[in-house]
Structure formats: C-alpha cells, structure tokens
Amino acid sequence: MKEMVCIVCPKGCHMKVERNQEEWIVTGNSCNRGKLYAIEEQRNPSRVVPTTVAVSHGMHPRLPVKTARPIPKQLIRRAMEEISKVEVDAPIEQGQVIIENLLGTGVDVVASRRMNRV
C-alpha cells in the first residue's frame, strides 16, 4: 500500500493506493479524478515541465515555455537539457511550438506567453 497526496486540485486529498491482483484500490479521494491520478502515479508518473528558453529581440532575455502535455517523470532531466539548447527570435506568439515532438514523446514544447519584438 502507498500513501499519497492528490495534487490534481488544490484540495489535496490524502489517499491510499493498494494493488489487489489486477485492480487498483484507491481510498481517501473525494472525486474520480483523484482515483485516476493515483493509479497513473503508480503506473506512469508524468509532469508538465515549465521552463524558459533564450529569446533575442524580446522585451526580456528569457521566454517562458512548457511541455504542452505531461511527459514521463524520468524524462524531465533530459527534457531540460534538450530545451536549454534552444534559442528563439522574437516575435513569438503564445502557444507557438518551440520544439516539436520533444525526445520522441509526441509532446511539443510551446511558448507560455507572447513576446513582441523590440
């Protein structure tokens, strides 16, 4: 059995997950999203990775970016290395794809904000 805190919403329910042969048994969750998260955390924990890349001709030197969807937790380090190699040039639109198919995950890295050219 594993104790965990649900982080899907700010309520932060304290849950317990247990494996009963093929089935996962979750208790302590207040809603179904919590249950799905608990099972996913056992099977394939993943996170959205927010970071920045260098941008030239913008109003700031860094452009915030994020993975458009969660990526497997064990890939976070490699993802950071990959993203840090990138440099972009303003203008950038919010949501613009900065890296396609990051590390073959099928997940893109996108811009979190627009950056006008100055």
Partner 1 sequence: MRKVIHYELVVIGGGPGGLAAAVEARESGVKSIAVIERDTELGGILQQCIHNGFGLTEFKEELTGPEYAERFIRELERGGIDVMLNTMVMELHHDRRLVVTSAEKGITEIHAGAVILAMGCRERTRGAIAIPGTRPAGVMTAGTAQRYINVEGYRVGERVVILGSGDIGLIMARRLTLEGAKVLAVAEVMPFSGGLMRNIVQCLEDYEIPLLLSHTVTDIIGRDRVEGVVLQQVDEKLNPIPGTEKRYECDTLLLSVGLIPENELSRMAGIQIDPMTRGPRVNEQMETSVPGIFACGNVVHVHDLVDFVTEESRCAGRAAAQKVLAKAEVADPPKIEIQTIAGTGIGYVMPQRITQAGAADRVTLMMRVKKVYKGAEISVSADDREILRKPFGHLAPGEMVRLDLSSGLVPSGSRTIGIEVIEKQ
Query: Which of the stretches 18-26, 53-61, 99-107 binds partner 1 when contact is defined by CB under 8 A?
Result: 53-61
Query: Which of the stretches 16-24, 47-55, 98-106 binds partner 1 when contact is defined by CB under 8 A?
Result: 47-55
Beta pairing, strands 87-89 & 50-56:
parallel
- Under rule CB under 6 A, how many of the chain's residues touch ligand SF4? 11
Tokens of 28: 């302590």
19 phi-psi bin (left φ>0, alpha ψ -120 to 50, beta other): beta
The site for ligand SF4 (CB under 6 A) is made up of 6, 8-9, 11-13, 29-31, 33-34
